[in-house]
Amino acid sequence: MLYPKQQHVNMHNDFMTKYLTNLDKIRRDLGAILKEIAIDNTVIVTTVNEGMVQMMMTVFCNVL
């Protein structure tokens, strides 16, 4: 079985610690942004992996 290297574990732990420490500020900031861009109180959020970025950008540009 393959395990992540310790440096990767440390990197992700640092990232999550920073995120969770600032979660209240992130929620406030994101809430303000979402209120500004919402249409009829609706915002559509999607995720894509790195391999699909170009295709999704094409889709988004054609939708707008």
Residue range 26-32: average pLDDT? 95
Q: Which class for 63: exposed (0-12), middle (13-18), buried (19 or more C-beta within 10 A)?
A: exposed
- HSE, CB side, 13 Å, CA atoms: give it for residue 42: 3
DSSP state of 51: G
Give this prediction's pTM. 0.55
Please give, one letter per residue, the 3-state secondary structure of 15-47. HHHHHHHCHHHHHHHHHHHHHHHCECCECCCCC
For residues 62 and 28, the model is more confident at 28
56, 48 contact by CB (below 8 A): yes
Provide the percentage of residues in the chain whose pLDDT is more than 90.
64
- Beta-bridge partner residues of 39: 42
